[in-house]
């Protein structure tokens, strides 16, 4: 799968680990930075990732910051993005089944690396349920987005 990856300085370490894991597993990763631990602004990286997903250059996007909150807020400003902030894998499974989320946000300061790896695997491998009630709710989200 083609996956966009991005982080700020607060999550550089985990972003690199997730990038290596996904690359080894055969995914095609587009790394939007940041590329070191120097202080930077998370909106820059989350926005670049989200735009690449909204343009269809990448099927999914994964963004990581200290808490995951800043990057998720940013990504959800981009049209067509449904970014889910997850700190455990049950939410990762349900957001794929119910929300058809196309981006995942997580926090390096709030979860351990093994939990993060688990969330990523579950989120990437769970299909959207396709159920009419969920499709109708997603359509309502997009109607709200279009009306704003
Ligand atoms: C950076 O210090 C921190 O604010 C950022 O990583 C993130 O947690 C913001 O939501």
For every residue of 23-42, DSSP letters joined together read HHTT-EEEE----SSS---H
Q: What residues are in contact with ligand 1 under a 6 Å CB criterion?
A: 8, 10, 42, 65-67, 69-70
Across 47-74, average pLDDT: 98
pLDDT per residue over 81-91, tens digit each?
Answer: 999 999 999 99
The residue whose C-alpha atom lies closest to atom 10 belonging to ligand 1 is: 70
Please tell me the distance between residue 41's alpha carbon and the centre of ligand 1 in angstroms: 8
Determine whether 9 is an active site residue: no
Against a cut of 0.85, is the pTM above it? yes
pLDDT category at 72 given cuts 50, 70, 90 is very high
Q: At what angle do helices 89-99 and 132-147 cross, to 10 degrees?
A: 80
pLDDT of residue 78: 98
Q: Across all residues in the chain, what is the average pLDDT? A: 98
Please tell me the distance between residue 64's alpha carbon and the centre of ligand 1 in angstroms: 9
- Give the closest residue to 33 by CA, choosing from 66, 58, 4: 4
Across 38-45, average pLDDT: 98
pLDDT per residue over 2-12, tens digit each?
Answer: 999 999 999 99
pLDDT category at 25 given cuts 50, 70, 90 is very high
The residue whose C-alpha atom lies closest to atom 8 belonging to ligand 1 is: 66
Please tell me the distance between residue 129's alpha carbon and the centre of ligand 1 in angstroms: 33
Q: How many CB atoms are closer than 10 A to CB 140?
A: 10
Please tell me the distance between residue 61's alpha carbon and the centre of ligand 1 in angstroms: 18
Kind and range of the H or E run holding 58:
none
Query: Does the CA dihedral 105-108-110-115 come out positive or negative?
Result: positive
Q: How far apart, in whole angstroms, are the C-alpha atoms of residue 28 and residue 35?
A: 18
pLDDT of residue 148: 95
Active-site hit among 27, 40, 98, 134 = 98
């Amino acid at each position: 799968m083609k996956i966009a990856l991005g982080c700020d300085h607060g999550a550089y370490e985990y972003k690199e680990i997730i990038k290596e894991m996904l690359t080894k597993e055969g995914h095609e990763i587009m790394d939007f930075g940041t590329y070191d631990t120097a202080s930077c602004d998370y909106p820059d990286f989350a926005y670049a990732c989200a735009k690449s997903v909204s343009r269809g250059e990448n099927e999914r996007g994964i963004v990581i910051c200290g808490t995951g909150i800043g990057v998720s807020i940013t990504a959800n400003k981009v049209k067509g993005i449904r970014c889910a902030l997850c700190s455990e894998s049950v939410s990762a499974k349900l957001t794929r089944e119910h929300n058809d989320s196309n981006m995942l946000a997580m926090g390096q300061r709030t979860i351990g690396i093994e939990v993060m790896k688990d969330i990523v695997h579950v989120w990437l491998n769970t299909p959207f349920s396709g159920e009419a009630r969920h499709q109708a709710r997603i359509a309502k989200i997009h109607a709200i987005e279009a009306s704003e």
